[in-house]
Amino acid sequence: MSYFLAVWEIFLKDLRSERRSREMLSSMLVFVLLAVVIFIFSFELNANLQKEAFAGTLWVSLCFAGTLGLARSFGLERENNALAGLLMSPLDRSAIYFGKALANWVFMLLLSILLVPTAGFFFNLNPFHWVLLGVILLGTLGYSLCGTFLSAITARLHNRELFLPILLFPVIIPLLIAAIRATGAVLGGGVVGELGTWLLMLAGYDILFIAIGLMLFDTVISD
């Protein structure tokens, strides 16, 4: 039980820090909107932007903006070497991983709350489907799980900002494909039955990284 409490405490601590400083979330929000706008400019600016482009624009923008949040996640622990405090405490180290991944997930969801209606507005379609919420929940969770894990590695490096996207993007591709296709399927661009496959793939990816976190996080964070 104390394991889950530890996860919860770390989760709350990350949220509390951000609420007080507010520096990261606002940057992420601005970044994500800029990304959408830039994407839109790359398409033909006719009245009916392709529906297919909606899904891609949405997820790629989230991916890019997400790296800001991930970088900050362990940046918090680097400052004043707060990580050492966590490592010396009697908690299981994977709790650090899950607490932070949860916090990053919340930030990604906050981004989505802004991004989805905005993109819907520009693409002139109604994005408010229950199933789309599910896709976003699963997709951002996977991104957060994978990203938090890799940022634990890159946070210790010299050029950390450079490395995170390089390490993250090749490995996040299956998640990205599934999320984009699922989003497209929900909004009517896809074949019936396809949605189930993609949702399964998203869930599978999430479970995979939960397992990886449990098994390998200690190796990565302990010297």
Partner 1 sequence: MNKRSFPRLLLAFDLLAGICLVVATWMALVYAPREISMGDVQRLFYFHVATAWTGMLGYFLAVIAGIAFLRTRRFFWDVASLAGVEIGLVFTALCVISGSIWARPIWNTWWTWDPRLTTAFIMELIYAAYLLLRRGVEDPNQRARFSAVYAIIGFITVPLTFFSIRIFRTIHPVIFGSASAMGTGLFEMSPRMLQTFLFSLFTFTVLFISFYWHRLRLGLREQDRDERLARQAQLEEEE
Partner 2 sequence: MSAVIQAVEIGKYFGSKKALKGLSFAAQAGETVALMGMNGAGKTTLINILATLLSADEGEVKYFGQPFKGNETEIRRRLGLVSHQLLLYADLTVEENLRFYTRLYTLPNAEQRIGEVVDLVGLARQRNQVLHTLSRGMQQRLAIGRALLHDPAILLLDEPFTGLDQFMVGRMLDLLQNIAGQEKTIIMASHNFKEVAALATHVLFLHRGACVDAFTVAGIDERSLADRYQKMASRGES
Which residues of this protein are in contact with partner 1, per CB under 8 A?
Answer: 146, 149-150, 153, 156-159, 162-163, 166-167, 169-171, 173-174, 177-178, 181, 190-191, 194, 197, 201, 204-205, 208, 212, 216, 219-220, 223
In the chain, alpha helices (H):
2-21, 23-42, 51-78, 82-88, 94-123, 130-154, 160-186, 194-221
Cβ pair 40, 57 in contact under 8 A = yes
Residue 89: CB minimum distance to partner 1, A: 22
Residue 5: CB minimum distance to partner 1, A: 27
Phi-psi region of 81 (alpha: psi -120 to 50; beta: other; left: phi over 0): left
28 or 185: CB nearest partner 1:
185
Among 41, 42, 219, 223, binds partner 2 (CB under 8 A): 223
**Interface with partner 2 includes 161 (CB under 8 A)?**
no
| 80: partner contacted, choices partner 2, partner 1, none (Cβ within 5-8 A by kind) | partner 2
**Interface with partner 2 includes 157 (CB under 8 A)?**
no
Classify residue 121 by burial, with Cβ atoms within 10 Å: 0-12, 13-18, 19+: exposed
Choose the stretch contacting partner 2; rule: CB under 8 A; options: 8-16, 121-129, 139-147, 149-157.
8-16
**Interface with partner 2 includes 16 (CB under 8 A)?**
yes
**Residue 74 tokens, joined:** 């362990």
**Interface with partner 2 includes 219 (CB under 8 A)?**
no
CA-to-CA distance for 114 and 29, rounded, in angstroms? 8
| 190: partner contacted, choices partner 2, partner 1, none (Cβ within 5-8 A by kind) | partner 1
CA-to-CA distance for 223 and 81, rounded, in angstroms? 14
89 or 126: CB nearest partner 2:
89
Total interface residues for partner 2 by CB under 8 A: 25
**Interface with partner 2 includes 222 (CB under 8 A)?**
yes
Between residue 78 and residue 97, which ones bind partner 2 under the rule CB under 8 A? 79-82, 84-91
* Helix/strand/coil for 87: helix
Choose the stretch contacting partner 2; rule: CB under 8 A; options: 37-45, 49-57, 72-80, 134-142.
72-80
**Nearest Cα to 75, choosing from 148, 168, 167?**
148
Classify residue 133 by burial, with Cβ atoms within 10 Å: 0-12, 13-18, 19+: middle
